[in-house]
């Protein structure tokens, strides 16, 4: 047939036959002759193979950057970092967190062995430096982050002490000579800390006000405190936030809105949230205004409409009157049924805060001045101690430096607390968060609460699902834009939970899990592409920011595994060019 003889079967019949084959057989028969090769490249054929093999919903269109169905099939098959190429065993205890430098040349690892290790990224990874933090009374290291120019490393750790202790510390290490530059207290330790810019980092502190009520203070710290403290301020208060019902601020992250216009993948906007919860959660919320627990408290009091008005329509005098009336009702026995001490504490704390809280920043969603706008994102809550909400606070330009008054800008003494600019409720226990490279999308690991559950005791959160939901939130619109991704699982109850770190690249999102696997999904098609095996819980994953075909996973089995894509493995192991037909070379080595 290749010599010009008329084909025995027309292309249409061959196509019908090939539709019954799987992709490997299609690639094989495509080598028979030129006619079969041409039919084996038919776009209709590869579209059908794509949807069938990857089990993608038929209403999901092809990736907007893809040029062919064949090329898209090859991309998902050949560029996923699913081939284990190296196992690093230098840690002597559970490995908790991984982070890459922005240039991809180094990565850092934190562990229960209380060391921070810095690794060199060459064709193979090698240990560059290791620091043991036990001499600073640390129990273990838990988190690290490189600053924007990769000259400094932030390391977050947990102090030794009883299991109920929540104290920690942040250390800053110079990457020029691996010297310790400064140390900053951090409470609770799972605030973790983060860089605001090249030389300033954010830490937290927690002050107890009552049994269920507390105040979280977020501080801006200069990394060079020992050098500059004699000449300028090295610390400044950013925000002071009231916590109710045993909740606290945790997992602080900075969103740089100037990255919104950088080249990155944008999830299919045709898939909007499938629940009314996401729509309701997208509305701006003030934790000091009426909420679900406020509604619960209303059932215990004599109706006082003017005392339950929102903060935006109530003057200071009216807020004071509301508290006075509530206390008078208690004294005179008009509160029915009788409130518990804990319910009364939460009610009084909220009423006190209403006239002592600054209003939210206006125009949160406005793109005006986007090149300088930054958000602070963190987990919080209002119903129980388990983190179930994402709080968002805009950082103003004058707040991005430690210059100025040590305790922040001068303010009205009555305005004791800062309010959140926006709150997104997840209706479940949040166990992980990660930003897309362009900072436009926030990916959230959560374990759902039972539908329609009612929380009557803040110290007894609802049971949480074993299945982990991975939510996708658009930070430009503050709305959920994807159905939750599922595949990974966790088994630890609320009171013993730990963070499972995830990471996002241009095309993929990866996460650890308690089922001894790491997982990789495609961001556009919402499909799980790979399961990466470990011998214990996978705590953290990290894509190289320079090549998304390189992924690291860290586990309780004390190892760090290095994963590369089949395509990269072939390139790195090729001793000399091979004369292969480019049409089929990517499928010659099957994935395990």
Half-sphere exposure of 331 (CA within 13 A, CB side): 6
DSSP 59-102: TSPPPTT-S-HHHHHHHHHHSS--EEEEEE---SS-EEEEEE-T
Assign 256 to helix, strand or coil: strand
Quote the mean pLDDT of the chain: 83
pLDDT at 1 over 70: no
- What value, to the nearest 5°, has the Cα angle with vertex 191 and ends 198 and 144? 50
Q: Which of 172, 149, 153, 156 has its CA nearest to residue 224?
A: 172
Question: Of 88-97, 359-368, 398-407, 583-592, where does mean pLDDT reach its minimum?
Answer: 583-592
Q: Band of the pLDDT at 373, cuts 50, 70, 90?
A: confident
Do 573 and 588 meet the contact criterion of CB atoms below 8 Å apart? Answer: no
| Separation CA 381–CA 243 (nearest Å) | 8
Q: Band of the pLDDT at 491, cuts 50, 70, 90?
A: confident
| Separation CA 353–CA 308 (nearest Å) | 13
Mean pLDDT across 454-482: 90
Q: Find the helix or strand (DSSP H, E) in which 215 lies.
A: strand 214-222
- C-alpha distances out from residue 393 to 77, 146, 345, 556, 574, Å: 40, 23, 26, 34, 50
| Separation CA 77–CA 83 (nearest Å) | 12
Mean pLDDT across 509-534: 95
pLDDT at 561 over 90: yes
Q: If 0-12 CB within 10 Å is exposed, 13-18 middle and 19+ buried, where does residue 39 land?
A: buried
| Separation CA 392–CA 421 (nearest Å) | 6
pLDDT at 350 over 50: yes
Q: Which two tokens stand for residue 53?
A: 């093999």
pLDDT at 582 over 60: no
In this prediction, residue 134 carries a pLDDT of 97
pLDDT at 2 over 80: no
DSSP 265-300: ----TT---SSHHHHHHTS---TTS--HHHHHHHTT
pLDDT at 308 over 50: no
| Separation CA 519–CA 540 (nearest Å) | 11
In this prediction, residue 295 carries a pLDDT of 39
Question: Of 89-98, 368-377, 483-492, 523-532, where does mean pLDDT reach its minimum?
Answer: 483-492
The percent of residues in the chain predicted with pLDDT above 70, rounded, is 77
């Amino acid at each position: 047939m290749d010599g010009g003889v008329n084909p025995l079967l027309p292309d249409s019949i061959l196509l019908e036959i090939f539709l019954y084959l799987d992709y490997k057989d299609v690639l094989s028969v495509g080598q028979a002759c030129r006619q079969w090769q041409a039919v084996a490249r038919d776009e209709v054929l590869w579209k059908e193979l794509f949807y069938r093999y990857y089990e993608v919903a038929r209403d999901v269109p092809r990736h907007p950057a893809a040029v062919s169905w064949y090329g898209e099939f090859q991309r998902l098959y050949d560029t996923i970092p699913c081939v284990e190429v190296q196992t690093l065993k230098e840690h002597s205890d559970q490995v908790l967190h991984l982070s890459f430098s922005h240039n991809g040349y180094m990565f850092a690892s934190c562990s229960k062995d209380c060391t921070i290790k810095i690794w060199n990224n060459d064709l193979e990874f090698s240990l560059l430096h290791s620091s043991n933090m036990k001499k600073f009374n640390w129990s273990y290291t838990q988190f690290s982050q490189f600053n924007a120019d990769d000259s400094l490393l932030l390391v977050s750790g947990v102090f030794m002490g009883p299991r109920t202790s929540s104290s920690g510390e942040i250390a800053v290490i110079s990457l020029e000579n691996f010297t310790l530059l400064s140390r900053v207290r951090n409470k609770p330790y799972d605030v973790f800390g983060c860089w605001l810019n090249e030389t300033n980092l954010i830490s937290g502190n927690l002050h107890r006000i009552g049994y269920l009520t507390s105040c979280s203070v977020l501080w801006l710290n200069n990394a060079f405190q020992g050098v500059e403290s004699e000449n300028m301020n090295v610390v400044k208060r950013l925000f002071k936030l009231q916590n109710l019902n045993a909740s606290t601020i945790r997992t602080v992250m900075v969103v740089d809105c100037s990255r919104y216009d950088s080249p990155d993948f944008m999830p299919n906007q045709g898939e909007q949230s499938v629940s009314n919860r996401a729509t309701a959660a997208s509305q701006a919320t003030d934790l000091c205004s009426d909420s679900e627990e406020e509604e619960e408290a209303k059932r215990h009091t004599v109706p006082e409409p003017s005392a339950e008005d929102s903060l935006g329509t109530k003057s200071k005098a009216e807020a004071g009157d509301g508290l006075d009336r509530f206390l008078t009702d208690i004294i005179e026995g008009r509160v029915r049924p009788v409130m518990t001490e804990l319910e009364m504490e939460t009610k009084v704390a909220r009423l006190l805060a209403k006239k002592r809280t600054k209003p939210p920043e206006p125009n949160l969603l406005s793109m005006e001045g986007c090149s300088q706008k930054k958000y602070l994102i963190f987990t919080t809550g209002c119903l129980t101690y388990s983190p179930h909400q994402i709080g968002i606070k805009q950082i103003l330009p004058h707040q991005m430096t430690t210059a100025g008054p040590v305790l922040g800008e001068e303010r009205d003494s009555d305005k004791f607390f800062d309010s959140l600019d926006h709150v997104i409720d997840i209706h479940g226990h949040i166990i992980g968060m990660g930003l897309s490279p362009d900072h436009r999308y926030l990916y959230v690991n959560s374990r759902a609460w039972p539908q329609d559950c009612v929380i009557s005791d803040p110290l007894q959160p609802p049971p949480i699902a074993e299945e982990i939901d991975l939510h996708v939130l658009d930070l430009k619109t503050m709305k959920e834009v994807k159905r939750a991704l599922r595949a990974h699982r966790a088994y630890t109850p609320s009171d013993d939970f730990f963070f499972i770190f995830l990471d996002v690249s241009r095309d993929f999102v990866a996460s650890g899990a308690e089922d001894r696997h790491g997982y990789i999904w495609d961001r556009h098609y919402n499909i799980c592409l790979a399961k990466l095996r470990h011998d214990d819980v996978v705590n953290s994953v990290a894509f190289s920011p320079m090549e998304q075909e390189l992924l690291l996973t860290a586990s309780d089995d004390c190892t760090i595994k290095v994963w590369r894509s089949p395509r990269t493995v072939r390139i790195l192991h090729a001793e000399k060019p091979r004369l292969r037909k480019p049409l089929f070379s990517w499928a010659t080595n099957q994935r395990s």
